[in-house]
Each structure stands twice: as C-alpha cells, then as structure tokens.
C-alpha cells in the first residue's frame, strides 16, 4: 500500500503540478501543530484558525485553476460549435468525422481535468481525516459545517464540480447530433426528440464514470456492490492490477459466490421451523433464538481465523468450511432421532464455525481485477440476498414426513439433510474446479524479478538493500522524510490485531459501526422472531412464515435498484443515511402491540418498512465506512470487512439472545419486549449520527 503523497507525485499531470493540493506542506503543518500543542506553544483556537486559512488558500488555488481550464474548454467548444452549425447546410462526412474527433479531444482534456479534481478531493478528505486523528477533536465537523453550506462555498466547487456539467452537456449534445447527422444523411433530429436514444461515445462513458466517482453519483450495480464492503484503494497502481489479473480465475470466483449463496440458504432455511423443532425436542419454543443465534456466535470466531488463513490459502479454508458445514448440518438433522437439543445446538455451532464469508470477501478483494471488482462485489451481495430468500422458500417445500431406514425426514430434519447434500456436492465441485491463486507475496516477487533480474531477487529475499548512490530527487525525498511520514501514518503492513484496528477508528467511523450494529439488530429481530410472533397472534403455518420471509428477502434487489439509480443520485449519502435510520425507527414503533387486536396488516407493513429501510441504510452506511476508514484496514486479517462482520454478527447474537430471554419470561409480551431494546438502540444511533453529521463527508 503506497502512501497518498507518493501516488500524488506519480500520477499528477506534470504541467499542472503547481495547482495540486500541497499535501506534503499540510502534513508537515499538522505534525508541527501537534508538537506545539503538546508543549503548550499553541492553543486549539489558533490551530483551528490557522489550518482553516491554509486549507482555504489551497482550495482557492484549485478552484481558480479549475475555472480557468473550464474557460479554455468552453472556448474550444465554442469554436467547434461554429463549424458544427455550418454542417446542417452542407453535410460532409469527412468534416463530420473531423468534428467528432475534435469533440473527443475536448472530452479527453476534460477527463484530465476530472482526474485533477478527483485527486485533490481525495487529498482534502485525507488531510481532514488526518488532522481529526492527530488533534483529537472535530476539525472536519467545524470546517465542513462552516464552508460547505456557505453561499460562496469553494469547497462545494471541488466536491460538486460546479460548471463541469455544462461542458459535459455540450459534448454529449454535439457528439449525438453528429452521430445522428451521419446516420440520417442530412435530416436532423434533435437528441431531445429521441427519448429512446441509446448511443454513447466511449469518451462520454469515461467522463460519466469519472463524474460519478467524484460526485458520489451511483447506479444499481455500484450501490449493490457497496453492501459487500470490500474496501478498495482510492488510487490503485497499474502493477497491482497486473498482479491481480494473473491471479483471477472465473470458475474460482463462481465457486466463491456459490459458497456465499449456500451459506445464506443454510442460515435462513431453519428459521421457519426452528421453534417447532425445539418444541419437539422438549424445549420451549423461544429457545429457537438460541438455536438461530448459536450459528452467529460461532461465526464471530470463524471470521477471524478464516481471515487469517486466507493470508496463506483460499482453497484449503474453503474445503475445511465445506466439511465442517457438512458435519454441522448432519448433526442438526440427527438431533431429532437422538432427541437431543444439545446435538441440535452443536450442529448449528459447527455451521457457524464453517462460515467462510471472510474468505469470500477477501478473494474478491485480492484476486479479482479492479475493473471487475464492482461487478463481483455486486454478485456477492446478490448471492447473499438470493440465498436469504431461497432459504425460507426451500423450507416451505419441505413440508413432508417419512422415514428412510431409521432416519426421520420431516420439516424439522429435512433442512439439515438437504444442506448436507448441497455441501457434499459443492465440496466435490470445489475440489475439482477451484484454482488456488498465487500468494500475493509470491506474485510481487515474480513481478519484481521480471523487472530487475535474479540477482536482485536474491538480495531482496534475504535482506533489505540500500543503493549506494541516489539521484538528486530520491535524496531530496529521503531528506524531507516524505516516505518516513507515509510509512509511519499509513504503514504498508496490514493491521495485526483487533486492538490496533480499533485504535485506527475515528469517532465518526465508530458511529457508523454502531449504525451497522443497529440495522443488523433490527433485521435479526424481525426475521428470527417471525415464526413465534405470527404463530402466537395469527396462527400462521410454517408455509405462511416461509413465504413471508422469502418475500422480505426478495425485496433486496428491487429496493437497491430504486435507491441506486435514483435516490442516491438526488440526495447526499448522509441525508439518505439519516432518513433511513428515522424510517427504521418508525417501522419499529409501528411494530409494537399497543392497539387490540394486533392485525396482520400492521405486522407485515411495519416489518416490511423496518426491513427495507435497514437494507437502504446498509448500502449508504457501508459506503461511508469505506471512505472514512483508515487505508490500513483495506487488506490483511483485521480488515474493514472483518470489523463490520463482527459488529453485525454481535448484533445478531444479542438479538437472538434477547428473543430467547424474552420468550422465557412471557411469550405474550415477547414482541414488545424484543422491540424495546431495538428502538432504544435505533434512537441512540440517530442521535450519534446527528452528532457526527458534518464529518460524514
């Protein structure tokens, strides 16, 4: 992982070098201010004022250059436009091609300008995070609040790229008109009169992607991919992409996604029948909360050791996971004939110990090229959502009762037998088709050896080396300590413990992890207690519960289509985040049993509102987390994905435990008793979000 300062030097456009954010200067200022504050030579008020002035000057320099370049592009487009208009009187295919290329040249220069703007926007975000971390107080909160909402805000120019849309509009209109003129041989039809017009020049497509990255505008695929929370470096380097290309294998990715799908089916296939199973084994129906939650308890541990194991291999942990899940589901099915609740819980414990979601995320992050990573991430989330819907739906089809030899096959045991067979088939498919990718360190060695030769390879392998002579630029950088600062603050080594990972979390990141905990808690309450609540109030059958849960799972993709294509492009992520939290809160409030009788409409409507709002919340929450988390948490064992998984799994464990405890005391008050802590946690998350709102930038 290369520091931003070094990448800024490598990737910046040299003729524009003086107009980029002076990241090195600001890092030095931050370090100096920290030292002065420690010895009492500065007070916080002066630091706040001085650093704000420094940032204002840097942003002003960027914005004025941006406006100047926009003017140059506008002038060029004006000249092209004059020639463009003459073509309507005298169409000429050669002239059309020349003008198309002229428009594309402007588009390529606009791409350079967008790249310039994007790198500066990343630098601003990084320096704001750095000063918050080093000073220990909310500088970002103050700076964004006072600058972003001001009528003369220049910060908004950087993050909202005001004016560039007009240039993109002229380019789009011009290229579309020329394309139409060329195809219609002289008869002009405006792009505005063609709602179904689909042609898009490759240059325009690249511009659209660049604008989307800069403005956070998104689409269904990107929004869905965020749910995977696979953190990516903001400025990836070409050599890394080359290494990943060498490690990519489509069938292995497909097996990885199949593992995700099967595990989610395995998680939710028992939810409609867990209460009936525990009753048949002589326990209370509410013990189903423990049965469901046991898998989540084990998953908290399996996520850590699988994440660590993936540093060395992907195939072996996936094989181990499949074997453990095969054993766990077999024990779950055998518990009925053995009449043992202990065997049932051990079976679910084994299923949790076989959770390879950390492997699934890690494989996509490390072995899928960046150009395909968003699609793979969306595939990961889609597989999860499909598995979540298919689990209960499959349980609905297993409503039968017969025996094979001494083994009972009914609605309680068949989920275990079916999943055992599924994992056995998957294990054989995995063993035959999965291709173990080269280890990351090995890939780096191969690439380095190809560039430098075997002699250097031996030296690097045995001990670090230092060249005897350095050129002037390298010497200057060494003296200034740029690389030392980058390595000290954003070390190349991944985080090696959960304690170190926690220390890297800023207050705003902690708030977002708490929001993630809240939404997973609310979703688990809705899903896990559904069979108990619906049987008590509405006398629903297992089939009815299964259909209800399957319908909830099927809302995931349509909701994300709406949010990804429309809502997220109209509102800021933090606005969608806060609104979604409030909607989850309203859904929980509507779920309480206050009025008598408690109707199906009230229960289904409130559960749907809670679940859908939590799904929307998850996308924007994980997107914000990926931007605010330290870059050190993008890879390694204790990565951002593991932290979010642990937070969500802990929420599920506590929610399932709450269901069991509440049902033990009073089944009639189960609904209100379980909803009350969910409501309190939700209200707390809303307050925390409001407190850190200006830091969510």
Q: Are 347 and 413 in contact (CB under 8 A)?
A: no
Instruction: Taking residues 92-99, report their average pLDDT.
Output: 82
Distance CA 635, CA 17 (A): 31
- H/E run at residue 410: strand 407-410
Q: Regarding predicted confidence, which is higher, 625 or 487? A: 625
Instruction: Taking residues 239-248, report their average pLDDT.
Output: 54
Q: Which has the minimum average pLDDT: 93-97, 264-268, 441-445?
A: 441-445
User: How many CB atoms are located within 10 Å of the residue 503 CB?
Assistant: 11
Q: Establish how many alpha carbons lie within 13 A of residue 31's alpha carbon, considering only the half-sphere containing its beta carbon.
A: 13
Say what the pLDDT of residue 1 is: 42
Q: Kindly list the distances between the CA atom of residue 41 and the CA atoms of 35, 38, 47, 55, 137, in Å, as whole numbers in the listed order.
A: 8, 8, 11, 22, 18
Label residue 7 by pLDDT band (50, 70, 90).
confident
Instruction: Taking residues 132-138, report their average pLDDT.
Output: 69
Say what the pLDDT of residue 241 is: 47
Say what the pLDDT of residue 449 is: 37
Distance CA 356, CA 301 (A): 11
Distance CA 437, CA 517 (A): 33
Over 60: is that where the pLDDT of 69 sits?
yes
Q: Regarding predicted confidence, which is higher, 437 or 198? A: 437
Q: Establish how many alpha carbons lie within 13 A of residue 601's alpha carbon, considering only the half-sphere containing its beta carbon.
A: 3
Label residue 477 by pLDDT band (50, 70, 90).
very low
Say what the pLDDT of residue 162 is: 57
- H/E run at residue 84: helix 44-86
Q: Are 679 and 499 in contact (CB under 8 A)?
A: no
Q: Are 662 and 670 in contact (CB under 8 A)?
A: yes
- The three-class DSSP label of residue 315 is helix
How wide is the angle at C-alpha 282 spanned by C-alphas 278 and 288, nearest 5°?
Answer: 20
Label residue 216 by pLDDT band (50, 70, 90).
low
Record the tokens describing residue 248, joined without a space: 């990519």
Label residue 228 by pLDDT band (50, 70, 90).
confident
Distance CA 649, CA 521 (A): 9
DSSP label at residue 126: H
Peptide bond into 285 cis (omega under 30): no
Instruction: Taking residues 164-172, report their average pLDDT.
Output: 78
Distance CA 386, CA 453 (A): 49
Q: Are 296 and 656 in contact (CB under 8 A)?
A: yes
Say what the pLDDT of residue 624 is: 84
Say what the pLDDT of residue 664 is: 82
Q: Which has the minimum average pLDDT: 275-284, 337-346, 424-433, 622-631?
A: 622-631
DSSP label at residue 555: T
Distance CA 631, CA 284 (A): 47
Record the tokens describing residue 622, joined without a space: 């994980």
Label residue 374 by pLDDT band (50, 70, 90).
confident
Say what the pLDDT of residue 174 is: 81
Q: Regarding predicted confidence, which is higher, 258 or 189? A: 258
- Highest mean pLDDT: which range of 129-133, 159-163, 648-652: 648-652
Could you report the per-residue pLDDT of 647-680, keeping only the tens digit for each? 999 999 999 999 999 988 887 889 999 999 999 9
Kindly give the interhelix angle for 357-367 and 640-665, rounded to the nearest 10 degrees: 160
Say what the pLDDT of residue 253 is: 92
pLDDT > 90: percent of the chain: 38
Enumerate domains of the chain plus CATH numbers: 3-228 (1.20.58), 250-435+497-695 (1.20.1250.20)
User: Residue 592 burial by CB count (10 A; 0-12/13-18/19+): exposed, middle or buried?
Assistant: middle
Label residue 605 by pLDDT band (50, 70, 90).
very high
How does the average pLDDT of the chain come out, rounded?
81
Q: Are 281 and 341 in contact (CB under 8 A)?
A: yes
Over 50: is that where the pLDDT of 451 sits?
no
Record the tokens describing residue 337, joined without a space: 């004939």
Please state whether beta strands 401-404 and 407-410 pair in parallel, antiparallel, or not at all (unpaired): antiparallel
Distance CA 327, CA 354 (A): 10
Say what the pLDDT of residue 233 is: 53
Over 90: is that where the pLDDT of 587 sits?
yes
Say what the pLDDT of residue 82 is: 83
Distance CA 186, CA 91 (A): 6
Q: Helix and strand tally (H, E) in the chain?
A: 32, 2
Over 80: is that where the pLDDT of 407 sits?
yes
Residue written as tokens 């870059």?
631
pLDDT > 70: percent of the chain: 80
Distance CA 143, CA 63 (A): 17
Say what the pLDDT of residue 440 is: 54
The closest alpha carbon to 426, from 265, 301, 297, 228, belongs to: 265
Q: Are 286 and 662 in contact (CB under 8 A)?
A: yes
Say what the pLDDT of residue 473 is: 43
Q: Kindly list the distances between the CA atom of residue 27 and the CA atoms of 3, 20, 41, 134, 483, in Å, as whole numbers in the listed order.
A: 12, 14, 19, 11, 12
Over 50: is that where the pLDDT of 83 sits?
yes
Instruction: Taking residues 553-559, report their average pLDDT.
Output: 88
Distance CA 442, CA 456 (A): 15
Distance CA 669, CA 694 (A): 40
Distance CA 339, CA 337 (A): 5
Distance CA 64, CA 157 (A): 10
- H/E run at residue 409: strand 407-410
The separation between CA 282 and the C-alpha centre of its own chain, rounded to angstroms, equals 43
Q: Regarding predicted confidence, which is higher, 133 or 489? A: 133
Record the tokens describing residue 136, joined without a space: 């220990």
Counting every residue, how long is the chain? 697
Residues sharing a CB contact under 8 Å with residue 514, sequence separation 6 or more, in sequence order: 647, 684, 685, 688
């Amino acid at each position: 992982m290369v520091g931003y300062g070094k990448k800024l030097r490598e990737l910046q456009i040299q003729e524009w070098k003086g107009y980029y954010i002076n990241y090195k200067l600001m890092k030095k200022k931050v370090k100096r201010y920290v030292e002065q504050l420690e010895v009492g030579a500065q007070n916080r008020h002066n630091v706040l004022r001085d650093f704000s002035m420094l940032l204002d000057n840097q942003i002003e320099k960027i914005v004025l250059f941006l406006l100047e370049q926009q003017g140059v592009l506008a002038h060029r487009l004006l000249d092209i436009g004059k020639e463009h208009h003459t073509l309507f009187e005298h169409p000429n295919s050669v002239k059309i091609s020349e003008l198309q290329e002229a428009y594309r040249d402007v588009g390529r220069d606009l791409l350079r300008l967008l790249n310039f703007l994007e790198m500066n926007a990343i630098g601003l975000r990084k320096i704001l995070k750095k000063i918050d971390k080093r000073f220990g107080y909310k500088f970002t909160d103050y700076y964004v609040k006072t600058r972003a909402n001001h009528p003369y805000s220049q910060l908004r120019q950087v993050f909202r790229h005001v004016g560039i849309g007009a240039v993109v509009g002229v380019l789009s209109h011009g290229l579309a008109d020329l394309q139409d003129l060329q195809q219609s041989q002289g008869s002009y039809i405006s792009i505005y009169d063609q709602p179904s017009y689909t042609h898009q020049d490759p240059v325009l497509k690249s511009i659209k992607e660049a604008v989307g990255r800069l403005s956070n505008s998104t689409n269904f695929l990107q929004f869905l991919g965020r749910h995977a929370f696979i953190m990516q470096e903001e400025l990836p380097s070409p050599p890394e992409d080359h290494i990943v290309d060498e490690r990519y294998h489509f069938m292995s990715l497909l097996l990885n996604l199949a593992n995700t799908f099967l595990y989610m089916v395995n998680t939710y296939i028992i939810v409609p029948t867990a209460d009936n199973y525990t009753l048949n084994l002589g326990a209370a129906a509410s013990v189903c909360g423990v049965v469901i939650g046991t898998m989540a308890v084990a998953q908290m541990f399996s996520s850590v050791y699988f994440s660590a194991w993936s540093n060395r291999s992907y195939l072996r942990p996936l094989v181990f996971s499949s074997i453990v899940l095969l054993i766990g589901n077999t024990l779950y099915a055998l518990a009925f004939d053995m009449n043992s609740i202990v065997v049932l819980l051990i079976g679910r414990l084994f299923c949790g110990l076989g959770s390879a979601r950390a492997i699934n995320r890690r494989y996509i992050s490390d072995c899928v090229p960046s150009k395909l990573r968003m699609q793979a991430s969306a595939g990961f989330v889609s597989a999860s959502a499909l598995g979540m819907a298919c689990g209960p739906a499959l349980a609905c089809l297993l409503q039968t009762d017969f025996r094979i030899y001494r083994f009972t096959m009914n609605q309680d045991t068949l989920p275990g037998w079916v999943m055992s067979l599924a994992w056995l088939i998957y294990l054989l498919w995995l063993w035959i088709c999965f291709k173990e990718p080269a280890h990351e360190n090995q890939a780096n060695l191969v690439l380095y050896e190809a560039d430098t030769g075997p002699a250097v390879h031996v030296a690097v392998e045995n001990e670090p080396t230092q060249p005897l002579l350095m050129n002037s630029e390298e010497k200057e950088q060494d003296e200034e300590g740029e690389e030392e600062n980058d390595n000290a603050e954003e070390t190349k080594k991944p985080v090696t413990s959960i304690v170190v990972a926690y220390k890297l979390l800023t207050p705003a990141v902690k708030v977002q992890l708490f929001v993630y905990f809240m939404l997973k808690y609310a979703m688990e309450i809705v899903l896990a207690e559904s069979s108990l609540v619906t049987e008590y109030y509405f006398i629903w059958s297992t089939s009815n519960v299964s259909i209800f849960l399957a319908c909830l799972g099927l809302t995931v993709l349509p909701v994300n289509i709406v949010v990804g294509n429309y809502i997220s492009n109209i509102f800021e992520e933090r606005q969608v985040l806060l609104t979604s939290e409030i909607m989850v809160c309203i859904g929980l409030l509507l779920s309480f049993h206050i009025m008598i009788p408690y109707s199906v409409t009230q229960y289904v409507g409130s559960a749907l509102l809670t679940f859908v709002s939590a799904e929307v919340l998850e996308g924007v929450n994980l997107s914000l987390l990926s931007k605010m988390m330290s870059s050190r948490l993008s890879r390694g064992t204790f990565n951002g994905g593991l932290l979010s998984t642990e937070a969500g799994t802990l929420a599920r464990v506590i929610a399932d435990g709450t269901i069991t405890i509440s049902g033990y005391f009073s089944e009639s008050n189960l609904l209100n008793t379980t909803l009350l802590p969910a409501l309190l946690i939700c209200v707390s998350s809303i307050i925390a979000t409001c407190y850190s709102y200006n830091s969510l930038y």
